[in-house]
Structure 1
Amino acid sequence: MDNNTVDPTCRQQPPLAIDIITQLDTFGIVLYSALTLMATLSVLVYLEECIYIYRKVSSPKKTAVVWVNGAAPIIATTCCVGMWIPRATMFTEMTSSSYFAIVVYKFLVLMLEECGGDEAFLRRCGKDTLRISTGPCCCCCPCLPRVAVTRRTLFLLKLGSFQFALLKTIFSILSIVLWTNGNFDVTNLEITGAAIWINPFVGVLTIIALWPVAILFMHLRNILRSQRIIPKYAMYQLVLVLSQLQSAIINILAMNGTIACAPPYSSQARGYLMSQQLLILEMFIITLVTRLLYRRRYDPLPPHDPHEDDNDQNTKIIMQCDNKA
């Protein structure tokens, strides 16, 4: 298509909020109202769940539960703000992604708290080994040696996830500062652009942060089965895939022009809008599911018997003696 035939509005900035309101038709009013209602209900359900958690769950586990449960409603809220105010999309995306970076670390802490804390985890699993050939880093390397569960190993696992919570927030603030100065543009893939350096580095930090969570989950999934850790981990992974991978795919399609321009939205702005509307619906459903998983009391794990290993060893000795007799 010749450049002269392109609608000039397709090259403009995202529309103002007042322009969206004045141009909404009947279907648009119903759609925007329904999605706004979903985002509002997500926040209300989350607040009610927080009240329950603070009353029924002991500290410090309740702090981790509140952070993890807040991922879906926070993302739904930021998407709702970005849907109504398209020019704030940069701020809403950075806010939700920074929050989820903290959730990655908090989910690792949650699994440890389900075991009773760091000390209880070390007592229960101190003689075990961790399989590090898991995704997203080393799932194709089954030959990697297993790692003993020690205080140093636990510290490295927690550090691997905490660095993402810290550095992602720092890079989000840096990106916003550069964007206000005109130096950060996700569509600018030139070597002199800031996005081509910041985004891949953040991607590497994301993979490094997800690896310790996967390692710990693979080790604790049977121990914490009674705590419904598998569906909880599935919801955490689903939020990750939808908020990061799905949004990235839609934005790439928009930048390539696959998603058509629809004035007053450019292709990129329309891609953001589609992603935001999908996420509001998806996060609303996830909020309801996570409420069923977390707003209930589970029986505590049975205490670990420190003499269990000695008993097993004595049983083996007795069996050997019987065989010799």
Structure 2
Amino acid sequence: MNGTNQTDPACTQEPLPAIHIISKLDIFGVILYSTLTFMASVSMLLFIEECVYIYRKVSSNKKSAIIWVNGAAPVIGAMSCLGMWIPKATMFTDMFSTTYFAIVVFKFLILMIEECGGDEFFLKHSANETFKISTGPCCCCCPCLPRVPITRRSLFMLKLGSFQFALLKMVFTILSIVLWTNGNFDVTDVKISSPALWINTSVGVLTIIALWPVGIMFMHVRDTLRSLKIVPKYAMYQLVLVFSQLQTAIINILAMNGTIGCSPPYSSQSRGYLMSQQLLIMEMFIITLVTRLLYRRHYDPIPYSDGEEKKNIVLASSDKTIV
């Protein structure tokens, strides 16, 4: 089967133009594409409405972080919908999705800090505590690593670890587009001299480094922020990561290896992209609905038990949030 797929001229063609996709749709295809487009559209509409609600109801120090984190699923779903309808734009829609998620990684870290009252209150409350750095995805297998004191410097290093991904991912995205316009960037080229191989490898390393500070912070604040549903919020963030990064990478690798057979007029690679995008639209739609329930709520005070003064500070901060 794989040998036939590789020799069939229909399996080696470039991505199809959008008009060709539309003209070849049968009844099932029309229903499927319409349903998925409806899901992506509803996700974006819910996100826009949520942005208005957050802007009006949430304190200014949390607005940006909450909006960015809420937008992860609907934005990725919308980009997948565009890639489904316009296969030639798949590379660009994927780049935009991964760049947006790189910013979300940093914003989720900021959100956890802001939910604790901001940098100053977090440092004051955690002055005599330590970070557990033996956590995923870098050091979960190294329980012998020493705990790091919580200081202004260590907090800055956590922020820097996530911010570098947001910054460098944008740099690599721009570089990839520039190389593509010059004919030097091809995501299917896995030769050692391929710019795409080195760029994608670098992005993978940066992703792991950026996820580590978020994991460290979550392990530290998960009990404190349990009343604010930080555990399911973190779970939704992790699901977006798994579906948009790991799942997409696995499907694309299977397509490039010919494991996913071609189905004319779709080549193996085009069919792999199509499967990935259709799955993402459905998954991101469900995550959008769940995320909306988690963030569209009244924020209860953080329950501290070691001083009435800290409780009063939190209560004062809570008055500025959703009412």
Supply the distance in 2 between the matched residues of 1:5 and 1:237 (Cα, whole angstroms).
Answer: 36
1:6 is displaced (CA, Å) by 2.2
Report the counterpart of residue 271 of structure 1 in structure 2.
Answer: 272
Report the counterpart of residue 128 of structure 1 in structure 2.
Answer: 129
Residue by residue, what CA displacement relative to the aligned partner does 1:100-135 show, whole Å, maximum 9, x if unpaired?
000000000000010010011111111101110000
Report the counterpart of residue 59 of structure 2 in structure 1.
Answer: 58
Supply the distance in 2 between the matched residues of 1:2 and 1:269 (Cα, whole angstroms).
Answer: 17
- Does the 8 Å CA contact 2:5/2:11 hold for their aligned counterparts? no
Amino acid at match of 1:127: N
Q: Secondary structure at the match of 1:290?
A: helix
Supply the distance in 1 between the matched residues of 2:13 and 2:185 (Cα, whole angstroms).
Answer: 17
1:92 is displaced (CA, Å) by 0.2
Report the counterpart of residue 230 of structure 2 in structure 1.
Answer: 229
Equivalence map 1:132-281=2 (5 Å): 132-281=133-282
Instruction: Calculate the TM-score normalised by the size of structure 1.
Output: 0.92
Report the counterpart of residue 89 of structure 1 in structure 2.
Answer: 90
Supply the distance in 2 between the matched residues of 1:192 and 1:136 (Cα, whole angstroms).
Answer: 28
- 1:287 to 2:288 alignment: yes
Q: Hey, which bits of structure 1, 4+ residues long, moved more than 6 A? A: 306-309
Which shifted more, 16-25 or 185-194?
Answer: 185-194
Residue by residue, what CA displacement relative to the aligned partner does 1:216-253 show, whole Å, maximum 9, x if unpaired?
00000000001100000000000000000000000000
Report the counterpart of residue 48 of structure 2 in structure 1.
Answer: 47
1:11 is displaced (CA, Å) by 0.7
Supply the distance in 1 between the matched residues of 2:5 and 2:307 (Cα, whole angstroms).
Answer: 78
Supply the distance in 2 between the matched residues of 1:2 and 1:33 (Cα, whole angstroms).
Answer: 34
- Does the 8 Å CA contact 1:124/1:304 hold for their aligned counterparts? no
Supply the distance in 2 between the matched residues of 1:303 and 1:234 (Cα, whole angstroms).
Answer: 24
Runs (5+) with no aligned partner, structure 2: 311-323
- 1:16 to 2:21 alignment: no
- Does the 8 Å CA contact 1:14/1:264 hold for their aligned counterparts? no
Q: Secondary structure at the match of 1:211?
A: helix
Supply the distance in 2 between the matched residues of 1:288 and 1:4 (Cα, whole angstroms).
Answer: 39
Supply the distance in 2 between the matched residues of 1:156 and 1:5 (Cα, whole angstroms).
Answer: 49
Which shifted more, 208-217 or 119-128?
Answer: 119-128
1:4 is displaced (CA, Å) by 10
Q: Which has the larger radius of gyration?
A: 1
- Does the 8 Å CA contact 1:38/1:284 hold for their aligned counterparts? yes
Say if 1:119 and 1:188 are closer, same or farther in 2 by CA, change over 3 A: same
Supply the distance in 1 between the matched residues of 2:300 and 2:189 (Cα, whole angstroms).
Answer: 53
1:180 is displaced (CA, Å) by 2.0
Supply the distance in 1 between the matched residues of 2:305 and 2:169 (Cα, whole angstroms).
Answer: 37
Supply the distance in 1 between the matched residues of 2:141 and 2:3 (Cα, whole angstroms).
Answer: 47
- Does the 8 Å CA contact 1:123/1:304 hold for their aligned counterparts? no
1:264 is displaced (CA, Å) by 1.7
Instruction: Calculate the TM-score normalised by the size of structure 2.
Output: 0.93
Supply the distance in 1 between the matched residues of 2:251 and 2:10 (Cα, whole angstroms).
Answer: 21
Q: Secondary structure at the match of 1:60?
A: helix
How many residue pairs get aligned? The number is 309
1:300 is displaced (CA, Å) by 2.4
Supply the distance in 2 between the matched residues of 1:127 and 1:2 (Cα, whole angstroms).
Answer: 64
Supply the distance in 2 between the matched residues of 1:4 and 1:238 (Cα, whole angstroms).
Answer: 33
Report the counterpart of residue 316 of structure 2 in structure 1.
Answer: none
Say if 1:129 and 1:8 are closer, same or farther in 2 by CA, change over 3 A: same
Which shifted more, 1-10 or 66-75?
Answer: 1-10
Equivalence map 1:102-113=2 (5 Å): 102-113=103-114
1:194 is displaced (CA, Å) by 0.5
Supply the distance in 2 between the matched residues of 1:45 and 1:248 (Cα, whole angstroms).
Answer: 28
Supply the distance in 2 between the matched residues of 1:200 and 1:104 (Cα, whole angstroms).
Answer: 18
Runs (5+) with no aligned partner, structure 1: 310-325
Residue by residue, what CA displacement relative to the aligned partner does 1:143-172 show, whole Å, maximum 9, x if unpaired?
000000000000000000000000001101
- Does the 8 Å CA contact 2:224/2:303 hold for their aligned counterparts? no
